[in-house]
Chains A and B, each alone.
Chain A
Amino acid sequence: MSTTIDSGDRALVQALEGLRATPPAGFTERVLARVGPTPALDEFVVVDGPSGPLFVAFGAEGIRHVIAADVVDRDPEAFVARHRERFGRSLRPASAPPAGLTRALESGRGRALRFDLHGLTEFEQAVLRKALEIPPGEVRPYAWIAREIGRPKAVRAVGSALGRNPVPVLIPCHRVVRNDGKIGHYAFGTAMKRDLLAHEHVDLDRLEELGRTRVRYLGSDTTSVYCFPTCRHARRITAAHRVPFRTAAEADAAGFRPCRDCRPEPARQTA
């Protein structure tokens, strides 16, 4: 009978299994080198981030993937498995981090980094590029991103796009918060979002306090300009000259114009 085998054959079958072989070292790389430069393996490094170590994966076209190391129990293999699941690509340890990464992590500014956002929709890419403009120490509401990229009604979609950010921390989706003073969701948990913002000296208690009293903007009566409360210009306003506003219309009625840097409202055309 062809599907059964007697005990004598069992030893033979086991011996045959022992004939399995693995290709010589470097086989994968040699094959990939022959099919062209595109499908080279991505590489990864582990670096110190502002809120604990980060796994960072990158390819020839830029940084593709960041995960807080604690999320995968600091296990490089678990990170590689996650990366493979999301991008269908393998990873090998890199000898050096990608250009500018260390400096970007120190300054909190990722604009000089190259990101590979292939596989994301145009909308998702626009959301992430916009988030990249928010300076460290400042936060913006979800609705601000939506308005700035020309999709003012897509506020919830902005939230989902930020939730799928493949390169968190470096593209600072943690700087996008709810406009009622609550900090909103974060892929690695709100505790980490809180930690990242505190590390950048965002005064979360004060933000919550303003949120409770429904203050959305702060103006200066010396310049007649109003800002988001965390804008670097708003932070310089002394208590004596600080004017709180709940709506842009209120500020407008008081003769204030929106800040050109944090843009709480689109700048009005000067007549």
Chain B
Amino acid sequence: MALTLTPRDEAMPERDQTADLVARMSQDVDAVFPEVVERYGPTLYTTALRVSRQPADAEDLAAEALVRAYRALSSYAPRRIRRLRLRPWLVTILLNHWRNQLRTGSRRPDEVALDRAGPVASTDSPEDAALARLGSGQLADLVHALPETQRIAVVLRHVVGLSYEEVGQVLECPVGTAKSHVSRGIAALRSRLSNDQEDRQ
């Protein structure tokens, strides 16, 4: 059976919230910025935690992204602020900062062990059984092991709940391409889960 996936965070309400936020922020960045931190802190922290391979640095990455966003906003004209797509813009700042850090070698990616699945047997479908055995830490490891673009696409779409349009903006690609990055990422996760199940049978 094929189900059409409904995004859990429909694009419209988020868009309305953002429109309201940027409209007020174009009048007074200082007054509204604390709200930006509160509303998007979890999005940025989760993205940092699930995309970077340095969970311990997730808070620093998210905080640095917000500080950079604040500096940029303080220098933008009101018109420019009103045109911002706030959520993908913030995520883009986060990811650029993360890539810069990797490039300058100040932090090195550490490989994540993928062989930590527990030994519990199950009678459900192979993938469900594998999922049931996996702790969330182990699913996070599988996500970490995806190629970078797929990893970002899957995390943004299915963990943080961005729309495909927003994922496309972050990845600087058309919506269709964003969708295929997401679905290839999901397929890769599924096949790893199946392999994992076969290994134990």
Question: CB of A164 within 8 A of chain B?
Answer: no
The answer on a CB contact under 8 Å between B41 and A28 is yes
- Give every chain A residue within 8 A of B41 (Cβ-Cβ): 22-23, 27-28, 31
Residue among A5, A10, A21 facing the most chain B CB atoms (10 A cut-off): A21
Report chain B residues within 8 Å CB of A38: 30
A91, closest chain B residue (CB): B34
A4 touches B70 (CB 8 A): no
Do A9 and B66 touch (CB < 8 A)?
no
Q: Which residues does chain A contribute within 8 Å of B33, judged by CB atoms?
A: 32, 35, 39
Chain B residues with Cβ under 8 A from A17's Cβ?
8, 158-159, 161
- The answer on a CB contact under 8 Å between B159 and A16 is yes
B179 touches A2 (CB 8 A): yes
Q: A31-B37, A31-B66 given as contacts; is B45 within 8 A of A22 (CB)?
A: yes
Residue among A20, A39, A87 making CB contact with B46, cutoff 8 Å: A20
Q: Please tell me if A88 contacts chain B, counting CB pairs below 8 Å.
A: yes
A84 at the interface (CB under 8 A from B): yes
Q: Which of A22-69 touch B at CB < 8 Å?
A: 22-24, 27-28, 30-32, 34-35, 38-41
Is A12 a contact partner of B42 (Cβ separation < 8 A)?
no
Contact A11 B66 (CB under 8 A): no
Option from A2, A7, A19, A40 in Cβ contact (under 8 Å) with B180:
A2
Q: Which residue of A is nearest B132, CB measured?
A: A11
Does B189 make an interface contact (CB < 8 A)? Answer: yes
Query: Contact between B31 and A87 (Cβ–Cβ < 8 Å)?
Result: yes
- Judging by beta carbons under 8 Å apart, are B128 and A8 in contact? yes
Q: CA separation between A34 and B70, bound complex, in Å? A: 10
A191 at interface by CB-CB < 8 Å: no
Binary interface profile of B, 55-66, with partner A (CB < 8 Å = 1, else 0)? 000110011001
**Given A10-B3, A23-B41, A89–B32 Cβ distance below 8 Å?**
yes
The chain B residue sitting closest to A18, CB to CB, is B136
User: Would you give the shortest CB distance from A28 to chain B, in whole angstroms?
Assistant: 5
Q: Does A3 belong to the interface (CB within 8 Å)?
A: yes
Is A13 located at the chain interface by the 8 A CB criterion?
yes
A39 to B33, CA, bound (A): 7
Q: Which residue in chain A gives the minimum CB-CB distance to B128?
A: A11
B interface with A by C-beta (< 8 Å): 1-5, 8, 24-25, 28, 30-35, 37-38, 41-42, 45-46, 49-50, 58-59, 62-63, 66-67, 70-71, 125, 127-128, 131, 134, 136, 139-140, 143, 154-155, 158-161, 176, 179-180, 182-183, 186, 189-190, 193
3 interchain residue pairs of minimum CB distance: A2-B179, A23-B45, A16-B158
- Other A-B pairs beyond A4-B5, A11-B127, A90-B35, 18, CB < 8 Å: A1-B183, A2-B176, A2-B179, A2-B183, A5-B183, A13-B158, A15-B134, A17-B8, A17-B159, A17-B161, A19-B155, A20-B160, A30-B63, A31-B63, A39-B30, A39-B31, A39-B34, A88-B28
